[in-house]
Each structure stands twice: as C-alpha cells, then as structure tokens.
C-alpha cells in the first residue's frame, strides 16, 4: 500500500552558516524526497518558542529557541512514502556523536544543540509544523 506523507524539515543555523544548504538538499533528493515547498527565513525567538513549545519545561529550551532564531534557516516540506520515519532515519540521532554513519547529523552535526537539521517526529506533528510555517 502506498503511503505518501509530508514532513517538515529545517536546515538549522549552524548548517546554513556553513553553506551546507545545497549539499543537504541534494541528500534529500538523492534519497527520494521531493522538496514541495521551501523558504529561507529568520524567525524571532518568540516564534521559536511557539515552534518548540513541547520542550518548554526542558532545561535546554531557552538556549534552543535562542539558537533556532540566531540566523537564517531553510524550512522545507518533504514528500516521500513514509517520509516522517524516512527523514528521521536519514537525519540520525539527536546527538551527532550517537548518529549512525551515513546520516546527516553524523556528517554535519557539531553538537547536540548544533545538529544541523530538524525533522518532524510523527505524522500528526508534521501537519502541525507544516501549518506553522506554511499556512496560507
């Protein structure tokens, strides 16, 4: 059964700053993802706080939101069969030190906070996150 899904991907400030945008997009395309929407933006800390609200009780929340709003990011809607899980696998573990060979975070991530990419963690959250950045 076909299960075409969309997921939200963000190329985070550490990767945009190192000019990795095109390389990372090529990795997605080479792995069968279609980039159906994309924009390069910089968000306010208050917007990052809304985006990462699920983490508001975590000790790293404030730094995380300051970081995501610290420079330009590339926000993309990716489409592929089972794209939510496929993107999580391609990204690798949150901590680049624990990410498997061949994953984006293993290759480009600097640290657990500067881990180069974001990806939705469920189909439900993908819808919420896509709406967050691309509504109307």
Q: For residue 37, what are the β-bridge partners?
A: 77
Tokens of 101: 């060979």
Instruction: Choose the contact partner of 35 out of ligand UDP, Mg ion, none; CB within 5 to 8 A by kind.
Output: none
If the CB atoms of residues 20 and 91 are measured against Mg ion, the closer one turns out to be 91
Report the interface residues with ligand UDP, using CB under 6 A.
Answer: 55, 60, 64, 94, 112-113, 115, 118, 121
Active site residue 118: yes
Shortest distance (Å) from residue 11 CB to ligand UDP: 12
Q: Hey, what's the torsion of the CAs at 133, 17, 114, 58, to 10 degrees?
A: -40
Q: Which letter does DSSP use for residue 111 in this model?
A: S
Instruction: Choose the contact partner of 79 out of Mg ion, ligand UDP, none; CB within 5 to 8 A by kind.
Output: none
Tokens of 117: 């990419």
Spatial distance between the Cα atoms of 13 and 72, rounded to a whole number of angstroms:
6
Instruction: Choose the contact partner of 64 out of ligand UDP, Mg ion, none; CB within 5 to 8 A by kind.
Output: ligand UDP
Q: Annotated catalytic sites, by residue? A: 118
């Amino acid at each position: 059964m076909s299960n075409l899904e969309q997921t939200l991907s963000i190329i985070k400030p550490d990767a945009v700053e190192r000019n990795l945008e095109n390389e990372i997009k090529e990795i997605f395309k080479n792995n069968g993802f279609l980039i159906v929407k994309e924009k390069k933006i910089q968000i306010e800390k208050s917007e990052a706080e809304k985006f990462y609200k699920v983490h508001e009780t975590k000790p790293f929340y404030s730094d995380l939101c300051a970081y995501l709003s610290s420079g330009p990011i590339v926000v993309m809607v990716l489409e592929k069969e089972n794209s939510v899980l496929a993107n999580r696998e391609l990204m690798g573990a949150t901590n680049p030190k624990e990410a498997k060979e061949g994953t984006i975070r293993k290759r480009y991530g600097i640290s657990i906070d500067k881990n180069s990419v974001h990806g939705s963690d469920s189909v439900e959250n993908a819808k919420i996150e896509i709406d967050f950045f691309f509504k109307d």
